[in-house]
Amino acid sequence: MTVDHALDRFEALLSGSPDPATPCAKPARLVSGLEKHFAFEEEHLLAAVGLPT
């Protein structure tokens, strides 16, 4: 899944009319996946350019 795709899915979930009785597992999973992705990218990109991680 690309970041763009994950953000599109997240925005679609937020723009809908969520049922208050429905758990927010999908948004939490999307956010968690994005956070892991960005942490991974940050670690590897900073190391690649010689900056401390």
List of residues 6+ apart from 37 with CB closer than 8 A? 3, 6
Nearest to 24 by CA among 13, 38, 12, 35: 13
Please tell me the pTM assigned to this model.
0.54
Cα 23 to Cα 27: distance, rounded to the nearest angstrom: 9
State pLDDT tens for residues 7-53.
888 787 777 766 655 556 777 788 888 889 889 988 888 888 888 87
